Chain A
Amino acid sequence: MSSEKRKILVCCGTGCLANNSYNVYTKFLDRLKNTSIDVVPSVKSTGCNGLCEKGPVVKILPDEISYFKVKESDVDEIVEKNILNGEVVDRLLYFDTNEKKRIVSHKDASFYKHQNKIALRNIGEIDPQSIEDYKERGGYMALEKVLFSMTPEQIIKEIESSGLRGRGGAGFPTGNKWRTCFQFENNPKYVVCNGDEGDPGAFMDRSVMEGDPNTVIEGMIICAFAINSNRGFLYIRDEYQLARKNMQLAIESAMAHGYLGKNIMGSGFDFDLEIVRGGGAFVCGESSALMASIEGSVGEPRAKYIRSVEKGLWDQPTVLNNVETWANVPPIILNGADWFRNLGTEKNSGTKVFSLVGKVKNTGLVEIPMGTTLRELVFDIGGGIIKDRPFKAVQTGGPSGGCIPKEHLDVSMDFDSLNNIGSMMGSGGVIVMDDTTCMVELARYYMEFLAEESCGKCTTCREGISTMVKILNNITNGNGKMEDLDLLESLSGTIKDASLCGLGKTAPNPVMTTLKYFRDEYIDHIVNKKCSAGVCKNLTSYSIDKDTCIGCGLCAKKCPTGAISGTLKSPHEISHDTCIKCGTCFSVCPSGAVVIGGAANEN
């Protein structure tokens, strides 16, 4: 056994908390109180380890043993076997579906070993509420470095040469933005963090704010010092209660430690930071809408020709960056621009955090060097598709992004390559879809989302998107016409050209990319009245293939309306009159005998 003091890290990010990790944490504290052991291990609650689906996650250091799906009732065994006797509790180890074996340290697992954590470097390793933990891992050293040994010019130069591009969506060079703001001399200037994270399916910003709030604060102070700003705001999404709490605690302890407030670390530089709680409007993630929201107005975007670096908050020069962008700043300052440039590709340096979700085996947060291929992301790290079903597509970039079909599985995951194939990076949401996802319905879903979130200022955006939703509703309900496809295309063009902000300008992307790559599916819906994914209920029917059915009876048992009949060991049959097309039989059948057909009345 190592002489270093043992640590037990219990993941208390949102995902693990949902699976009762807090009780696991307190159980460890209790259990260790009643243990006679020379050196009592310290127990810490940490932020998200990324593999939330397999949570609660418990790590034992320095042994590097990681346990997954830990329940309160497992705590005794972990303490007795592992802590007291140095034995590993096999059954709680990670099961690697690629290597088909259990893995002792999470670092060796397929999900983690391809990762390279910069923005997420501390998350899962520290107690987010402890500034001491952050400092132990080099926290606030970058701040000290800039305050006492760098000029604003040098700081900006360093960020510029690192090639860091904004992680919030557009990939705008961060150094450029800082330099432009630096050059304006009308004070006050503001530094703002975009923590609105509206892209459904993405949760990296949440994880950073919850799991390592100090890195965001440190990044913002560094920028403030460089551009000469004394006041900053953190705009945090309404739903993110834990993120707001941990950020608030971190701001308070940074104040107490002299990293915020007056005369920071004795340097004479002042900077104050406060949190603004969002109001639950997607469009408020857009820079000018976000600023209007901080000012206490309705969050409507304004025309882009007025740039917010020049006239931002209260019309003063403002730097707005995304949470993940901020988290990259302290390590770049400490390790240098060259170190950062060495990661990723030439024009896309560093790493990007992706949230890998949907129909993939290992869902969670993944930080990889830019330039990693989509295939590596989905298959090596993600472990492939759930139940090994066929891969159909991924959607990146959220509602403004596009879908990527399997022909492009080898695309490099970086800003430029994704743009080239009609999708975009966005905030890094990667939604994996299999053959049971209907691409037409997905397009309909995104358009409905955007119709609801449009602020309504531009007619093209407001009316255009709703019209597209109506057309897509018709197609998915079985009332589509072939002319609809041309109409969708021409509407897409108009909305793109005539809308003011990024929401409208990118809104048609989901329709355009699905039309481009999955036109056959649209035609199948319109002409053959068939949804082969079994999602559009009017265009779906289920039946049982007599030759494949083994007569196990499972489907009949699970069918909520009793629509399936048959005797054991002989082929079963579905009655179309009683079937409500819930798809239960399709998902439970062990032999793949349930097949999806088109609209039932056609048969």
Chain B
Amino acid sequence: MVDSSIDLMESNEILKKYPPEKRFTLAILQDVQKQYGYVPRETMNLIAEYLSQPVSEIYSMATFYKALSLKAKGKYIIKVCNGTACHIRGSNALMDEVAEVLDIIPGETTSDGLFSIEIVNCLGACALAPVMVIDDKYYGGMTKEKVKSVIEEYRRAK
């Protein structure tokens, strides 16, 4: 399956930044993930060729590391923390509310491609538990009640 929206030019630009050494595999994949919002199949072939690695090796990296995904993600990724500090301060209720407001379950993307939900283990801001992060912006001391208005802000900004 060839995804016509993929511009491989950009992948080539990414590759150019790194010498062709195996140790840069993860870094390259991270950049690709950032560029496209996921790791497209075609780029894995390119990377494998560039690093002289079997595609299967690149594929197993892409499935092993949580920072990488094989499916496209939304424009805004809502990371809801379920680390221990957040868990015992009620992150479950927060996760349910986000899922309900967006009408998708964690791991999915809304049909307009705007939002994805991810459940993560600790965002390192445990003192503010429960915490959620959208595009590197932290929301601490979150409550169910605040979820709707936070999401609305992003909807309006598009």
**Chain A hits for B121, CB < 8 A:** 198, 200, 282, 449
Known contacts A14-B138, A17-B138; decide if A363 and B127 are in contact (CB<8 Å): yes
Are the C-beta atoms of A279 and B68 separated by less than 8 Å? yes
In the complex with contacts A17-B138, A281-B66, A431-B128 CB distance below 8 A: no
Contacts A14-B125, A239-B124, A357-B129; A279 near B64 (Cβ below 8 A): yes
Convert A294-312 into 0s and 1s, putting 1 for each residue whose CB lies closer than 8 angstroms to a CB of B.
1111110000000000000
What separation, in Å, do the CA atoms of A276 and B67 have in the docked complex? 14
* Contact of A355 with B by CB under 8 A: yes
A358 close to B85 (CB less than 8 A): yes
Q: Kindly identify which residue among B60, B126, B136, B138 contacts A298, using a CB–CB cutoff of 8 Å.
A: B60
- Interface presence of B21 (CB below 8 A): yes
Residue A598, interface by CB 8 Å: no
Report whether A357 and B23 are in contact in the complex, using a CB–CB cutoff of 8 Å: no
Query: Per-residue 0/1 for B41-60: is the Cβ within 8 Å of any A Cβ (1 yes, 0 no)?
Result: 00000000001000001001
Of all chain A residues, which has the CB nearest B87? A445
Report whether A296 and B24 are in contact in the complex, using a CB–CB cutoff of 8 Å.
Answer: yes
Q: How many residues of A contact B (CB 8 A)?
A: 54
B128 & A52 in contact (Cβ 8 Å cutoff)? yes
CA distance in complex: A449, B60 (Å): 21
Kindly identify which residue among A15, A237, A276, A279 contacts B140, using a CB–CB cutoff of 8 Å: A15
A341-397: which have CB < 8 Å to B? 355, 357-359, 363-365, 395
Q: Inside 8 A of B128's CB, which chain A residues have their CB? A: 15, 18-19, 52-53
In the complex, chain B residues whose CB is within 8 Å of the CB of A18: 125, 128, 131, 137-140
Within 8 A of A (CB), among B33-88: 51, 57, 60-61, 64-68, 82-85, 87-88
| Residue contact B122 to A200, C-beta cutoff 8 Å | yes
- Bound CA–CA A297/B59 (angstroms): 11
Cα distance A52–B127 in the bound complex, in angstroms: 6
Find chain A residues with CB under 8 A from B29 CB.
279
In angstroms, Cα B141 to Cα A357, docked, is 13
B26 at the binding interface (Cβ < 8 Å) = yes
Question: What distance in Å separates the Cβ of A274 from its nearest Cβ neighbour in chain B?
Answer: 10
CB A145 to nearest CB in B, in angstroms, measures 33
Question: Would you call B21 and A296 a contact (CB within 8 A)?
Answer: yes
Bound-state CA distance A365–B83 (Å) is 16
Q: Is A238 close to B, CB under 8 A?
A: yes
Q: Is the CB of A279 within 8 A of B67?
A: yes
Q: In chain B, what residue has the closest Cβ to A203?
A: B124
- The size of the chain B interface, using a CB distance under 8 A, is 43
CB of A586 to closest CB in B, whole Å: 12
Query: Among A198, A296, A298, which residue has the most Cβ atoms of chain B within 10 A?
Result: A296
The residues of A that contact B116 with a CB separation of less than 8 Å are none
- A231 in the interface (beta carbon within 8 A): no
A441 to chain B, nearest CB (A): 9
In the assembly, what is the distance between CA of A275 and CA of B122, in Å?
21
- In the complex, A582 Cα to B94 Cα: how many Å? 12
Contact A364 B127 (CB under 8 A): yes
Interface residues of B in 99-143 (CB under 8 A from A): 120-129, 131, 136-141
Residues of B within 8 A of A241 (CB): 136
Q: Is residue A442 within 8 Å, beta carbon to beta carbon, of the partner chain?
A: yes
- B68 contacts which chain A residues (CB < 8 A)? 279
B146 at the interface (CB under 8 A from A): no
Establish whether residues B26 and A279, one from each chain, have CB atoms under 8 Å apart when the complex forms.
yes
Cβ of B16 < 8 Å from any Cβ of A?
A: no
For the complex formed, measure the closest distance between the CB of B137 and the CB atoms of chain A, giving whole angstroms.
8
Given A395-B84, A398-B84, A431-B84, decide whether A279 and B66 contact each other with a Cβ distance below 8 A: yes
Task: Give chain A interface residues in 283-340, CB to chain B under 8 Å.
Answer: 293-299
Q: Is B11 at the interface (CB under 8 A from chain A)? A: no
Is the CB–CB distance between A358 and B89 below 8 Å? yes
Task: Tell me the complex Cα distance, A175–B24, Å.
Answer: 32
Residues from chain A with a CB closer than 8 A to the CB of B23 are 294-296
Interface centre among B22, B29, B64, B140 (most CB of A within 10 A): B64
- Whether a CB of chain B sits under 8 angstroms from the CB of A573 is no
One of B57, B60, B124 near A240 (C-beta < 8 A):
B124
**B150 near A: Cβ within 8 Å?**
no
Task: Enumerate chain B residues within 8 angstroms of A449, measured Cβ to Cβ.
Answer: 121
Which of B26, B60, B88, B139 has the largest count of A CB atoms less than 10 A from its CB?
Answer: B88
Q: Which residues of B contact A198 (CB under 8 A)?
A: 121-122
Q: Which residue in chain B gives the minimum CB-CB distance to A295?
A: B23
CB-CB under 8 A from A15, the residues of chain B are: 125, 127-128, 138, 140
CB-contact partner of A582 in B57, B93, B126, under 8 A: B93
**Interface 1/0s, chain B 9-25, versus A by CB < 8 A?**
00000000000011111
Beta-carbon contact of A238 and B67 below 8 Å = yes
- A202 an interface residue at 8 Å Cβ cutoff? yes
B27 at the interface (CB under 8 A from A): yes
B67 touches A201 (CB 8 A): no
B148 to chain A, nearest CB (A): 13
Whether B30 pairs with A279 at a CB distance below 8 angstroms is: yes
In the complex, the answer to whether A203 meets B66 with C-beta atoms within 8 Å is no
* Contact partners of A237 in chain B: CB under 8 A: 124
Check if B126 sits within 8 Å of A357, measured CB to CB: yes
- Bound-state Cα–Cα, A240 to B138, Å: 12
Q: Shortest distance in angstroms between A11's beta carbon and chain B's nearest beta carbon?
A: 12
A188 to chain B, nearest CB (A): 14
Q: Mark A21-64, 1 if CB is under 8 A from B, else 0.
A: 00000000000000000000000000000011100000000000
**Nearest-neighbor residue (CB-CB) of A283 within chain B:** B64
**Is the Cβ of A437 less than 8 Å from the Cβ of B88?**
yes
Q: Which of A200, A201, A277 contacts B26 (CB 8 A)?
A: A277
Q: A414: CB under 8 A from chain B?
A: no
Q: How far apart are B65's CB and chain A's nearest CB, in angstroms?
A: 3
Inter-chain contact B65/A279, CB cutoff 8 Å: yes
What residues of chain A lie closer than 8 Å to B85, measured between beta carbons?
200-201, 355, 357-358, 363, 429, 431
CB distance A239 to B120 under 8 Å?
yes
Q: Which positions 70-86 of chain A face chain B at CB distance < 8 Å?
A: none
Given the interface pairs A279-B68, A293-B26, A295-B23, the reply to whether A358 lies near B124 with Cβ below 8 Å is no
Neighbouring B residues of A296 by C-beta, 8 Å: 21-26, 51, 61
* Whole-angstrom distance between the Cβ of A363 and the nearest chain B Cβ: 4
Sampled A-B contacts (9; CB under 8 Å): A18-B128, A202-B122, A203-B127, A239-B122, A279-B61, A281-B66, A297-B61, A299-B65, A355-B85
Please list the residues of chain B having a beta carbon within 8 angstroms of any beta carbon in chain A: 21-27, 29-30, 51, 57, 60-61, 64-68, 82-85, 87-89, 93, 120-129, 131, 136-141
Pairs A-B, 7 closest by C-beta atoms: A279-B65, A200-B83, A18-B138, A280-B66, A200-B122, A357-B85, A280-B67
* 13 more A-B residue pairs beyond the given contacts A199-B122, A200-B126, A203-B126, with a C-beta to C-beta distance below 8 A: A203-B124, A239-B123, A277-B26, A279-B29, A279-B30, A279-B64, A296-B22, A297-B22, A355-B85, A358-B129, A363-B126, A429-B85, A437-B88
